[in-house]
Amino acid sequence: MVRTIVVVVLPLFLYAFVQYIKNESKIASKGLVLVGCLAVIKFMESLSQRHCYFNARRSGLRMKSAIMVAIYQKQLILSSLGRKRHSTGEIMNYIAFDAYRMGDTLWWFHRAWSLVLQLFLSIGIIFKVVGLATLPGLVPILVVIILDIPFAKLHKKHQFQFMVAQEERLRATMEVLNNMKTIKLQSWEDKFKSTIGLLRGTEYKYLAKMQVKRPYTTVLYWMSPTIVSAVVFIGCVLIRGTH
C-alpha cells in the first residue's frame, strides 16, 4: 500500500517541481522542500518495494518448502491403491509446479490489487492534470487487456499439455527402471530408449511453445506505458490545439 501511494504521489511532486521552475518569482525554501520531498518519496518507494518483495518471497519459500515436505511424507505412507491413483509423474508435477505456484501466490496476490489500485489512481491524477485528453489514453489500456487474454489462455493450455507430457515421460521412465532386469535380459534397451526419447520430444515441444508465447505478454506489459503516454500527449495536443 505504501509503495502504491508513493508511486502515484511521485508524479505530483514532479509536476509541482516543474511548475516551481517555470515560476519567475522562485522561493529557495520551497524549492529545497520539493527536492527533499522527491528524495524522501523515492527512498520510501525503493524501501517499501524491497521490503514487500523480500517478505513475499520469504513467505513463499516457506510455503513451497512446507508443501514439498508434506508431499514427500505423504508419498512414504501411500497405499498400493494410492500409488496407482497418483503416479510418479503426477507427484513430480505437484512438487515442480503446484508447490512452486503456491509459493508465488503471495507476491502475485499483492501485485494484482496494487496494480489495479495504482491504475485507477493514476487515471484520476492524469485526468486532473490534462483533462479530457486522458480519455484517448484509456483506449490502448483496453486494447492491451483484450490482447493479453488470448495469450494467457494459450500459455495456460501449453502449460497443461507440458505437464501431461512430463507425467507420461516420468511414468514411462519409472516403469523402465523398475523392469530394468527384464529389459536387459531381452535386449530391449534401444526400443525403450527411443520410446522415452519420443516422449521427451513431445514434452520439449510443448515447453518450447510455452516459452515462445511468454515474450508476447512481456512485450505488451512493458510497451503499454509508453503507448498510453504517447496517446495521452497526442490527445492533449489535439484537444488543446482546437481551443
Q: What is the pLDDT of residues 28-65, one digit of tens each?
A: 777 788 888 888 888 888 888 888 888 888 888 888 88
* Closest alpha carbon to 86 in 65, 25, 95: 95
Residue bearing the bigger pLDDT, 141 or 240: 141
> Of 161, 169, 160, which is closest to residue 88 (Cα–Cα)?
169
pLDDT at 17: 79
Which pLDDT belongs to residue 36?
Answer: 85
What is residue 243's predicted lDDT score, i.e. its pLDDT? 44
> How confident is the model over 172-220, as pLDDT tens digits?
777 777 778 777 777 777 888 888 888 888 888 888 888 887 777 778 7
> How many helical (H) and strand (E) elements, i.e. helices and strands, does the chain have?
9, 0
What are the cell numbers at 41? 518519496
Residue length, the chain? 243
C-alpha grid cell, residue 139: 483506449
> Per-residue pLDDT tens for 73-83?
888 787 777 77
pLDDT for res 193: 82
- Taking 70 as the threshold, does the pLDDT of residue 88 lie above it? no
Q: Give me the pLDDT at residue 242, please.
A: 42
pLDDT-derived band at 87, boundaries 50, 70, 90: low
pLDDT, tens digit, for every residue of 95-131?
A: 777 777 787 888 888 888 888 888 888 778 777 777 7
What was the pLDDT predicted at 238?
Answer: 74
The three three-digit cell numbers of residue 24, written as one number: 519567475
